[in-house]
């Protein structure tokens, strides 16, 4: 079994992270589940490139590697402005993506556990995340299987989301 190693992300990782999103978009599209991120690759989209670059330069991005290959990415920091602010100090998962070639190897869980450890190290007892809550609800169920609890549904335009939390 190949273990998952986590390292700090850098601007050099931007193309690999965009490719991770591309693989996820292609996989979701093939399943007819296009509501989360649409059907267009992230690579080549200036807005998406800027977003990933900000994570890479902001200090909260981590890259999971399997066999020295980038397998997943998490970005943590302040909550997105479209969710209700927390009533206590928190660490917020701003993004989580796994390269589909590494699906089924606990990469996402490992990154979420890293985020929980990071929150504890910062003296924070609340870890929150939001995700797409449409289609079959599998993404919300995934976060619940990782120890998160539903907190609050929301919408951004027509996009249905769910805020979830994990007490530490």
Spatial CA neighbour of 16 closest among 78, 92, 58, 72: 72
Token digits for 112? 């979420």
Task: Tell me the CATH number at 126.
Answer: 3.40.630.30
Q: What per-residue confidence (pLDDT) applies to 88?
A: 96
**Beta strands at 91-98 and 126-132: parallel, antiparallel or unpaired:** parallel
CB contact at 8 A, 73 and 97: yes
Residues above pLDDT 70, as percent of the chain = 99
Token digits for 83? 């969710």
* Number of domains the chain contains: 1
What pTM does this model have?
A: 0.95
Side-chain-facing half-sphere of 120: CA atoms under 13 Å = 9
* Residues of the domain holding 43: 4-167
Return d(Cα 139, Cα 14) in angstroms, integer: 24
pLDDT tens digits for 38-80? 999 999 999 999 999 999 999 999 999 998 899 999 999 999 9
Residue 1, pLDDT > 70, answer: no
Residue 2, pLDDT > 80, answer: no
């Amino acid at each position: 079994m190949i273990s998952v190693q986590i390292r700090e992300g850098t601007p050099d990782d931007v193309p690999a992270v965009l490719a991770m999103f591309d693989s996820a978009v292609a996989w979701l599209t093939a399943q007819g589940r296009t509501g989360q991120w649409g059907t267009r690759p992230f690579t080549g989209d200036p807005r998406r490139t800027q977003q990933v670059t900000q994570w890479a330069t902001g200090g909260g991005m981590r890259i999971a590697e399997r066999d020295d290959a980038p397998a997943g990415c998490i970005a943590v920091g302040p909550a997105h402005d479209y969710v209700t602010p927390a009533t206590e100090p928190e660490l917020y998962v701003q993004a989580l993506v796994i390269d589909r070639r590494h699906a089924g190897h606990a990469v996402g869980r490992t990154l979420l556990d890293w985020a929980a450890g990071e929150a504890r190290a910062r003296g924070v007892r609340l870890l929150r995340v939001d995700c797409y809550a449409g289609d079959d609800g599998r993404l919300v169920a995934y976060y619940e299987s990782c120890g998160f609890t539903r907190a609050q549904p929301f919408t951004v335009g027509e996009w249905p989301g769910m805020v979830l939390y994990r007490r530490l």
